Amino acid sequence: MIPALVVIAYLGVVLYIGIFAFRRAPGGEQAEGYFLANRSLGQYVFLLSLFGTNMTAFTILGSAGHAFANGIVTYGLMGSSSAFIIPVTLYLFGTRVWALGKRHGFMTPVQMYRDRWECGHIGTAIFALQAALLVPYIVIAVMGGGTTLSAVSGGVVPYWFGGAIVAAVVMSYVFFGGMRGTAWVNTFQTVLFLTFGAAAIVFIGVSIGGFPQAMERLLGSPESAPLLTRERIPPRFFFSYMLIPLSSIMFPHISIFCLTARRMGQFRKTVIFYPLCILAIWLPCTFLGLAANAMTDVPAIDAKLEARAELAAERDSLTAEETASLQRAAAGDDVIILMLEYYAPLWLAGLLGAGIMAAVMASDSQILALSTMFTEDVFTYYGGTSRFGPAVQVQTGRLFVVLIALVAYVIALNVPPGIFGLAVQYAFSGFTSMLPLLVAALFWRGSTKWGALAVVIWTAVTMAGIALLQAVVSAPPPGVTVPVWTLAGTEIITRTPGGTDVLGFMPVLPMLIGSSLLMVVVSWLTPKPATHTLSRYFPEQNQPPRP
């Protein structure tokens, strides 16, 4: 119970930091002060909070769980590609979003889209889709918080109560502290979970007699040797994952964070240090998840391995309920916590558990982003601020924070485990599909609001189709695929244990191709924005030629 008490004490510290920021924040009752910290975040707070808000339960719990099931290839799937692609998108897109926000006073991406394409209700459609795609990511944090507190307390704190505590703490400091409180908390949490990565791999490595021995045990077994290769991930599927980090800049909380920097020069150091931060957290988590396969002396992990073996051996004779039960038993999202419980002293397990919780709780900026978008893109746009005043505008944002936290908690109680898969299938794939919106708005003067609407409809329809397909066709056991649509002997759409494949690729690839084509074709066929609007975004193209 000591680790759980340490984690709860940590939650108290986080709550204090957020509320302290509220008391210290200048202009905290004004919209720009509450939602954007007056665009005044310094270099290190900007870097650490931006990185921290991108590293959630998906990073620590999800990556370790995925590595537990699939092996070292997990780092290649997301870690290495994210270390390159995310900084590039921050440089190419984030700096331009910052400059436009500073120049025109934008507080959300939707405000920019509305102004750029002279669209009103289409902007509302963009808001609705972004909100729908962001909710699963917030749900992941609540699930991760419930899983963490339940594990570090040895089951004394049930999953539902752990999730409720996390949701309540995050809701409270976002409610009071706004963007400044969120940034301060994220900075503190980022330092904590980066320290956790190094400490966890050192202490667990020493406790098991060194990782080389664990790797030798895995290599010596025919069942576990493939975990040290890319063998379990087909090449097309592996390639698809390289597109997932493109979603980062499209997440509203990342775009909004780009608006909080004091100077554009702060992006330079962020781009330089971001890959190093990725390495510092992704490599330990992936390696620990992989090494867990050799830790049969941990009873809970051994039970997971037995459930996985039973799934593989008896998959043809199991009922759907038995398969689902074994899949839950074999899920690896909590393997790092189980290793800490078993190998680390109680006080250290508590501190490292707090480090895990730090990453899990990065949903604060996502909740604040949804609140900002609702307040600015719906409440203010449709006349709420002009009718009721700026003070009511901020209070509306705070009430929306409470609503989002409650909705996320209710959903978290009713979704199956599997943090990695949930994030990839819905949030990441959907936001990657929306990338043509940002590219076209910033770089193509010929893009139109109807092209933007086509992208929104395409993304919504494909995401709904994937969800419907996976609801109708149950997930097969590991190692088995179910053809859904076959044409001329070729499997076009396939139901897999982890989701859906299209010609062997993840759905994100055809989704991105489709949205890109629709943006181009529909924009070619529809009227362009007015010249005076385009001149606000492409001034160099409106200057007369030099003599």
Question: Would the pLDDT of 533 be above 90?
Answer: yes
Backbone angles phi, psi at 27, to 5 degrees: 70, 25
pLDDT of 63 above 90:
no
Tokens of 500: 């859906």
Provide the pLDDT for residue 143.
80
Interior angle at CA 57, CA 35 and CA 203, nearest 5? 125
Is the alpha carbon torsion for 101, 105, 441, 452 positive or negative? positive
Top mean pLDDT of 105-109, 401-405, 543-547 is at 105-109
Contact 106, 126 (CB under 8 A): no
Mean pLDDT calculated for residue range 489-501? 87
Helix 43-54 × helix 159-207 angle, to 10°: 100
Residue of 363 and 442 predicted with greater confidence: 442
Phi and psi at residue 204, to the nearest 5° = -70, -40
Return the higher-pLDDT residue of 494 and 212.
494
Residue 110 has pLDDT above 50, yes or no: yes
- Residue ranges per domain, the chain? 2-423
- For residues 350-378, average pLDDT: 82
- Copy the structure tokens of residue 493: 């759409």
Nearest to 79 by CA among 54, 115, 50: 54
Per-residue model confidence as pLDDT tens digits over 309-348: 888 788 777 777 887 788 888 888 889 888 888 887 777 7
Lowest mean pLDDT among 72-81, 111-120, 418-427: 418-427
Query: Per-residue pLDDT tens for 450-478?
Result: 999 999 999 999 998 988 888 788 777 66
Q: Quick one: average pLDDT of 439-454?
A: 96
What is the token pair recorded at 199?
A: 């400490």
pLDDT classification of 522: cutoffs 50, 70, 90 = very high
Average pLDDT over residues 430-453: 96
Q: What is the average pLDDT score of the chain?
A: 86
Q: What 3 state SS string does 415-464 have?
A: CCCCHHHHHHHHHHHHHHHCHHHHHHHHHCCCCCHHHHHHHHHHHHHHHH
Q: Which residues pair with 482 in a beta bridge?
A: 495
For 479, phi then psi, to 5°, come to: 90, -5
Among 306, 251, 255, 219, which Cα is nearest to 135's? 251
Range of 168-172, 355-359, 491-495 with top mean pLDDT: 491-495
Alpha carbon 323 to its chain's center: 28
Lowest mean pLDDT among 264-268, 353-357, 518-522: 353-357
Average of per-residue pLDDT across 480-493: 90
Between CA 397 and CA 108 the distance in angstroms is 13
For the whole model, what pTM was predicted? 0.88
When pLDDT is cut at 50, 70 and 90, the band that residue 526 belongs to is: very high
Per-residue model confidence (pLDDT) at position 226: 87
What is the SS3 assignment for 90? helix
Model confidence at 545: pLDDT above 60: no
Percent of the chain with pLDDT over 70: 93
First to last CA, the chain: 78
Any idea what DSSP says for residue 261?
B
Higher confidence at residue 54 or residue 303? 303
**Helices and strands in the chain, H and E counts:** 28, 3
pLDDT at 454: 98
Q: What are the residue ranges of helices labelled H in 292-362? A: 299-313, 320-330, 335-343, 346-360
Task: Point out which residues pair with 487 in neighbouring strands.
Answer: 490
Residue 509, pLDDT > 90, answer: yes
The pLDDT-based confidence of 23 (bands split at 50, 70, 90) is low
User: Among 69, 494, 134, which residue's Cα sits nearest to residue 292?
Assistant: 69
- Note the pLDDT tens digit of each residue in 387-427: 888 888 889 999 999 999 898 888 888 766 555 455 556 78
Of 26-30, 328-332, 504-508, highest mean pLDDT: 504-508
**From CA 54, how far away is CA 383, in angstroms rounded?**
33
Q: Which residue has the higher pLDDT, 544 or 359?
A: 359
Q: What is the pLDDT of residue 176?
A: 86
pLDDT at residue 478, as a whole number: 64
What DSSP assignment string belongs to 364-431?
HHHHHHHHHHIIIIIIITTTHHHHH-HHHHHHHHHHHHHHHHHHHHHHHTTS-S-HHHHIIIIIIHHH
pLDDT, residue 421, reads 56
What separation in angstroms does the CA of 411 have from each of 120, 416, 417? 31, 10, 12
Between 319 and 71, where is the model more confident? Answer: 71
pLDDT value of position 540: 67
pLDDT reported for residue 231: 77
Residues 6+ apart with CB under 8 A from 207: 343, 344
CATH 1.20.1730.10 fits domain 2-423: yes
C-beta of residue 9 within 8 angstroms of C-beta of residue 169: no
pLDDT at 468: 86
Q: pLDDT at position 521, please?
A: 98
Task: Tell me the CB-side half-sphere exposure of residue 25, using CA atoms within 13 A.
Answer: 31
For Cα atoms 337, 470, 461, give the angle at the middle one, nearest 5 degrees.
115
